[in-house]
């Protein structure tokens, strides 16, 4: 386990994002895509970029974002979320999970493995609201260009767009790296960043 007093600039992070089917009456919202990237010492590296199996006849909310409509056959043939879990868990257990609004990602992980808990989570949405309270939007797709991070994100994840899980995970990692470069933030510990 990584100690809460570890300097945040030295800690290993895994930024992750799930895309889901959304809410449809009578059906659970299922994850259909997972993206995860590692961030340590300022270096960002893609770790997971996978569809997750959703049966072909399973309904998606008409409001669910992402490219699921064009990829339904690939999603129906993708690995089960529990199969991916066996590779994802060791990565998350050795790092600090990060998400932009952690509620969704934490809920999905809790459903996949109800008895597994990660003691420290970092929520970039909460942090960016503290750092930039006057920005008109704190959504990732608006923050990245507003903070001048778009060219680097496009180079890291070419050909992708918001609401693609790998794109959003990389955007989250870039945002965290940016926040940790702000004056005074370089001295913060994981305990300072962690969300309840």
Angle at 87 between CA 28 and CA 167, to 5 degrees: 70
Task: Write the DSSP assignment of 5-28 as a string of letters.
Answer: TSBGGGS-EEEEEEEE---BTTB-
Q: Which domains does the chain have, with CATH numbers?
A: 8-193 (3.30.420.10)
Buried b (16+ CB within 10 A) or exposed e, 33-54: bbbbbbbeeeebeebbbbbbbb
pLDDT in tens, the chain (196 residues): 799 999 999 999 999 999 999 999 999 999 999 999 999 999 999 889 999 999 999 999 988 888 888 888 999 999 999 899 999 999 999 999 999 999 999 999 999 999 998 999 999 999 999 999 999 999 999 999 999 999 999 999 999 999 999 999 999 999 999 999 999 998 999 999 998 8
The model's pTM: 0.95
């Amino acid at each position: 386990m990584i100690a809460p007093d570890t300097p945040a600039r030295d800690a290993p992070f895994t930024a992750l994002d799930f895309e889901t089917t959304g809410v449809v009456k009578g059906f659970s919202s299922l994850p259909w895509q997972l993206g995860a990237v590692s961030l340590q010492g300022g270096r960002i590296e893609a770790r997971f970029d996978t569809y997750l199996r959703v049966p072909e006849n399973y309904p998606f909310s008409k409001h669910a974002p992402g490219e699921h409509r064009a990829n339904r056959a690939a999603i129906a043939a993708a690995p089960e979320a529990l199969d991916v879990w066996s590779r994802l868990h060791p990565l998350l257990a050795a790092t600090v999970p990060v998400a932009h609004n952690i509620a969704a990602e934490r809920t999905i992980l809790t459903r996949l493995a109800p008895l597994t808990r990660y003691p420290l989570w970092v929520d970039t949405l909460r942090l960016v609201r503290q750092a930039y309270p006057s920005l008109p939007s704190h959504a990732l797709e608006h923050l990245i260009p507003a903070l001048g991070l778009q060219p680097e994100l496009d180079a890291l994840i070419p050909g992708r767009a918001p609401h693609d899980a790998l794109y959003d995970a990389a955007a989250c990692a870039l945002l965290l790296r940016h926040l940790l470069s702000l004056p005074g933030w370089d001295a913060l510990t994981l305990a300072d960043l962690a969300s309840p």
